[in-house]
Amino acid sequence: MTNPWPSDASDLSALLQQFLVFHGGRHLQPVTEDNWKLVPVLLQVPVGKPIMPGRWLVTSWDAPSPSYFEMWLQRQAALGDLPDVVVLTSDRALDGPAWLIAQARQQRVQLVLCSAEPPQVLGTEVADTVAVLLEPAIRSEIAVINPLEHLAALGDPRDPAVFVERLRRSAPGLPVTKVLVVANSLVYVVMVALASQYRQGHADASPLTTVIGGFPLGELADWGGNAPNLAHGPSSAWRLVAAAFLHGNLVHIGMNMLVLRQIGDTAERLFGSLNYTFVYFLAALGGSIASLGWHSLYAPEAVSVGASGAVFGIMGATLGFAWARRDAVPRQVYQSLVRSGLFFTIVNIGLGLSLAVVDNACHVGGLVVGLLTGAALSRELPPAPQPSLRLRLGIVGASLAVLGLLYRLVLALVPAS
């Protein structure tokens, strides 16, 4: 199917960009989904291609007079920033094309003038190369698509622009992060709604009182809180997961969900939704097991709840990703992941040391599990080949086996009630 000749300057700019990309051109500046057809765009065409190598500037042009082009050329020449080729696109034929061409030649710049109505390509010598777009057979081979799609598919992932574009397209919608936030929030709402059943005859049974004052430890334990004195009960292992969806008060769940939403966005894109889910639940188990072991030695009556072990695991996983893929990601991305991860960890562990109610054992346990599983489940971003599902399930199975062994060891430390 032949692509029609563009009907306006912006679509004509898009066609010219794709023509250059088709011949190996690479964008030299950031473009977005919203502006890629509208802003002046600079592309680099490498040596050895059938069109002139060098920097090509493609821009829509609606100047009031040809003399404006002369002033623009002189200003760019004074700045030492003249491109090798300037492509001007317009809805209609430009006024004074001979004047424009003469000014370009004076500055030793190749010029291409393209109009949508009438369909026209003219200019200096290089315009003959671009004029092949007037031939329907040539135009049919060049899809007028967003160059960001080409960037994501064929670019070098160590290029920050390529990495960011692949990351943005990796997990559209961030479904798992949203589901986790909703699930934790729904559990909290149900707990608040049913709190009065636990407090019949008490003055503090209203939902508002529960939201403001939080839940007593007994209620949290009944809901599935992680507690050493309940660890030897029938099928008590379910508490390791259940505790990660329980929260003591509104501030507790609010902070955890806010942080999960912030760091989960990046992590789900880095790992993909399935790997991200694996990391989240493995870190939640690791945090609960570490908390159980610590409190069995120092606070057997404690009840631990909250998603913070899993949240720390997600942050640890981004650090593991950065370490495992340090040679395959842009240096700026690596440094950013490491800096943000270390800052988050140091600040929150320090806060936990100063507040007795913070379960640092759960945080550290989740962090360590997230760090290790994040490194093991790291990947190159699509469209690069992905690890097989069998390999990923093998990593998850091995992680569960290790966590199961640690759980058995921790139970040996917990005195039977």
pLDDT, residue 416, reads 67
pLDDT, residue 144, reads 59
- Asked if residue 100 lies in contact with residue 66, where contact means CB atoms within 8 angstroms, the answer is yes
- Asked if residue 94 lies in contact with residue 119, where contact means CB atoms within 8 angstroms, the answer is no
- Asked if residue 270 lies in contact with residue 177, where contact means CB atoms within 8 angstroms, the answer is no
The number of helix segments (H) and strand segments (E) in the chain equals 17, 6
pTM to 2 decimals? 0.68
> Cα–Cα distance between 385 and 213 in angstroms, integer?
51
Q: What would the two tokens of residue 349 be?
A: 């562990």
Nearest to 315 by CA among 384, 393, 356, 256: 256
Within 10 angstroms of residue 379's Cβ, the number of other Cβ atoms is 19
Query: Which single residue is written with the structure tokens 């690890």?
Result: 387
Dihedral in degrees, nearest 10, Cα atoms 188, 194, 196, 200: -140
Nearest to 51 by CA among 133, 113, 149: 133
pLDDT, residue 393, reads 95
Computed on alpha carbons and rounded to an integer, the radius of gyration of the chain in Å comes to: 30
DSSP code, position 54: E
Write the pLDDT tens digit of every residue in 24-37. Answer: 888 887 766 666 66
pLDDT, residue 110, reads 95
Sign of CA dihedral 306, 307, 313, 315: negative
State the alpha helices, DSSP H only, in 143-272: 147-154, 160-170, 175-198, 207-213, 217-223, 238-242, 250-271
Write the pLDDT tens digit of every residue in 124-153. Answer: 999 999 999 998 888 777 765 566 666 666
pLDDT, residue 236, reads 80
> Cα–Cα distance between 13 and 18 in angstroms, integer?
9
CA-to-CA separations, 76 to 73, 86, 135, 274, in angstroms, rounded: 5, 12, 33, 50
Nearest to 144 by CA among 51, 45, 41, 37: 37
pLDDT, residue 128, reads 93
What does pLDDT average to in each consecutive run of 10 residues of the chain (417 residues)? 78 86 81 69 87 92 75 87 93 87 92 93 94 85 64 68 80 88 95 78 67 85 89 78 94 94 92 95 96 89 93 96 89 89 88 82 96 95 87 96 94 75
